[in-house]
Amino acid sequence: MSKAKQHTDAPRFSRQWWLDTARTLFWVAIVTVLVWIYADMEFTQTDDIAIQIHLHADGSKDTVVTSEPSREVTFQIRGSRSDLDRFIKKFRGVVVGFDLSTVDGFGEDLEAIPSDLVLKSIPEIDELGLRVVSGNPATIKDIRIETLVVRELPIEFAFKGAELAESPKDVVKVRAPDSVWSRIPPNSRIRTVEKDLSDLPAGEEQKVKFQLISAVGAESVSLESDEVTVSLQVVRRTAAATETISVTVRIVTPAEWTEEGVWAQYKLVRRDRIEWLTKITVTGPRKDIDILKTDKTKTIDAYIVLTDSDTEPIDSWSSRKVTLRFPPGLQIQLASGQVEPAVQFRLEKRVTTTP
């Protein structure tokens, strides 16, 4: 008699019946698992996608990311072919923003994060049932987060077309990290977008709104307000005059350079000394132009700001746009069509001689 026959003939719920049933269920389970594995191998695949990431801390009002915000990570993701294709089609070439303030332990001590945190934050990963296998690099490093420091700076009002009874005065709260403040020269001001006052009637007090420029020289900052309203009185309308003036370009360095003896190690080499004594054409009321020409205390400050990166060796020359700061109280600015001059330079290691 065959085993199948024995199984068939075994009394129900007998010892032999239970053994035969268990043996059958075992093989059914094995076959089922193999089918599942085969189906997974057949319909689930792995693919790579390179994603540009922009790191920021917009969720925190008191901090800012001062390290390089753009990073590229190649992710390996797993899912069905159709879902992979949909995801890759949507996100290939797209910059994905990631708010570091959502990470546990966020603060100035946060220097690195696992790269897969970024991809897992994208809702489509869960919606499409995809799995993040890995990221290359696995860790996004060299993150620098700084607390914003608030200071008040006076406002320099730029206008044309009128002479005022009194120059407007106001201040605005400026937010920037310490690394930026260290590059901002003392006595700096926040400038306004130039306003044409030629349509205002003379002899009457008027309230005028000025737009503020959220920068100090070449440094971007955050302002408490984008505009300010001041009261002013036009004495008379004025016609603009122009003048070409020579200015000497100077350098501004981080305060710690003096303490660390940077100038004992490096020297500034100018590619063309003539461009450091440059001519600019300015415009403004005739009265202010005359003061600029005759009053030695009223000068145009021209400078460039050096940073630690300038000490890195280069084979060519660094080019930097000159920041111009006009005398407060005078309505002077660059003439139309003029741009800030630029200078070329590099820092070279000083050669030490052994006695």
pTM for the model: 0.56
pLDDT tens for 142-173 read 999 999 999 999 999 988 888 888 889 999 99
Q: Which helix (H) or strand (E) holds 244?
A: strand 240-252
**HSE value, Cβ hemisphere, 13 Å, CA-based, for 144:** 8
Residue 39: predicted pLDDT:
54
pLDDT tens for 10-60 read 676 666 766 767 777 777 777 676 666 555 544 678 889 899 999 999 888
Q: What is the DSSP letter of 354?
A: P
- 133 vs 115: CA distance, rounded Å: 11
pLDDT at 7 over 60: no
Averaged pLDDT for residues 215-222 = 88
Q: What is the DSSP letter of 158?
A: -
Contact 202/177 with Cβ under 8 angstroms?
A: no
pLDDT at 345 over 90: yes
- 321 vs 344: CA distance, rounded Å: 9
pLDDT-based confidence at 3, cuts 50/70/90? Answer: very low
Residue 43: predicted pLDDT:
66
pLDDT-based confidence at 275, cuts 50/70/90? Answer: very high
- 58 vs 98: CA distance, rounded Å: 9
Residue 339: predicted pLDDT:
87
- 348 vs 190: CA distance, rounded Å: 34
pLDDT-based confidence at 333, cuts 50/70/90? Answer: confident
Class for the domain spanning 239-355:
mainly beta
- 65 vs 152: CA distance, rounded Å: 22
pLDDT at 1 over 50: no
β-strand pairing of 70-80 with 131-136: antiparallel
Domain range annotation of the chain: 1-143, 149-237, 239-355
Contact 275/300 with Cβ under 8 angstroms?
A: no
Q: How far is CA 190 from CA 75, 100, 142, 153, 315, in A?
A: 44, 30, 32, 7, 36
Residue 254: predicted pLDDT:
87
Residue with more model confidence, 135 or 35 = 135
Residue 71: predicted pLDDT:
92
Is 66 in a helix, a strand, or coil? coil
Give the type of residue at 73: V
**What is the residue-averaged pLDDT of the chain?**
86
CA torsion sign for 176, 181, 187, 190 is negative
Helix runs in 121-254, H state only: 123-127, 178-181
Averaged pLDDT for residues 280-284 = 90
Q: Which fold has domain 149-237?
A: RNA Polymerase Alpha Subunit; Chain A, domain 2 (2.170.120)
Contact 78/41 with Cβ under 8 angstroms?
A: no
Which residues does 106 contact at the CB level (< 8 Å), separation at least 6?
A: 57, 60, 100, 145
User: Hey, what are 98's tokens?
Assistant: 């990631």
pLDDT at 241 over 90: no
- 123 vs 129: CA distance, rounded Å: 10
Closest Cα to residue 137, out of 41, 72, 228? 72
